Copies of this chain bind each other. A is one copy, B any other.
Amino acid sequence: MKDVVHESFIVVKAKESGVTVTGVTRGVENRFLHTEKLESGEVWISQFTDNISAMKIRGKAEIMTSIGDLMGGE
């Protein structure tokens, strides 16, 4: 693979313990690749990669992206 740069990243700050951020595989099969569990107050910053084209965030969390910010969870 050449000439390819995935620069986009997101920021997730857990507002409760047990928040999860799951990377979902790029390509024809979209399965869960990696799930990171966050304690309250922990911050997770991750890029899209050659292997990850989607992410799922569960639980109460501040989420920042280049196209806007939002609160996850109720």
Cross-chain contact B45 with A55 (CB below 8 angstroms): yes
A3 to B50, CA, bound (A): 13
Cross-chain contact A53 with B46 (CB below 8 angstroms): yes
Cross-chain contact B62 with A65 (CB below 8 angstroms): no
Partner of A57, one of B34, B42, B60: B42
- CB closest chain-B residue, reference A10: B45
Chain A interface main SS type: strand
Cross-chain contact B47 with A53 (CB below 8 angstroms): yes
Partner of A46, one of B9, B24, B74: B24
Cross-chain contact A48 with B47 (CB below 8 angstroms): yes
Cross-chain contact B8 with A9 (CB below 8 angstroms): yes
